[in-house]
Amino acid sequence: MSAILTARGLTRRFVTKKPLFVAPTVVQAVNGVDLDIEEGETFAIVGESGCGKSTLARLLSHLIAPSEGSVTYAGRDISALSASELRALRQHMQFIFQDPFSSLNPRMTVGALIGEPLNIHSIGTAAEQRAKVVDLLRKVGLRPEHADRYPHEFSGGQRQRIGIARALATGPQIVIGDEPVSALDVSIQAQVINILEDLKAEFGLTLVIIAHDLAVIRHIADRVAVMYLGEIVELAPAEELFAAPKHPYTGALLSAIPIPSTGARRLRTTLEGDPPNPIAPPPGCKFHTRCPHAQDRCRTERPVLLGTDAHHSVACHFAETLSLQGIASEEKPRAAAAQARFARYSAARAAMDGVAKG
Which tens digits make up the pLDDT trace of 287-313?
999 998 999 999 999 999 998 888 899
Q: Which pLDDT band holds residue 52 (cuts at 50, 70, 90)?
A: very high
Query: Residue 334: CB partners within 8 Å, gap ≥ 6?
Result: 215, 219, 260
- The whole model's pTM is what? 0.86
The partner residues of 13 in beta bridges, in order of sequence, read 28
Output the DSSP codes for 92-130: TEEEE-S-TTTSS-TTS-HHHHHHHHHHHTT-S-HHHHH
pLDDT of residue 135: 95
CA distance 288 to 296: 9
Mean pLDDT, residues 171-199 taken together: 85
Per-residue model confidence as pLDDT tens digits over 85-106? 999 999 999 999 988 888 999 9
Per-residue model confidence as pLDDT tens digits over 228-258? 999 999 999 999 999 999 999 999 998 887 7
Q: Rounded mean pLDDT of the chain? A: 86
Whether 43 shows a pLDDT value over 90: the answer reads: yes
pLDDT of residue 336: 46
Strands (E), 217-256: 223-228, 231-237
CA distance 130 to 346: 24
Whether 353 shows a pLDDT value over 60: the answer reads: no
CA distance 113 to 117: 8
Q: Which pLDDT band holds residue 335 (cuts at 50, 70, 90)?
A: very low
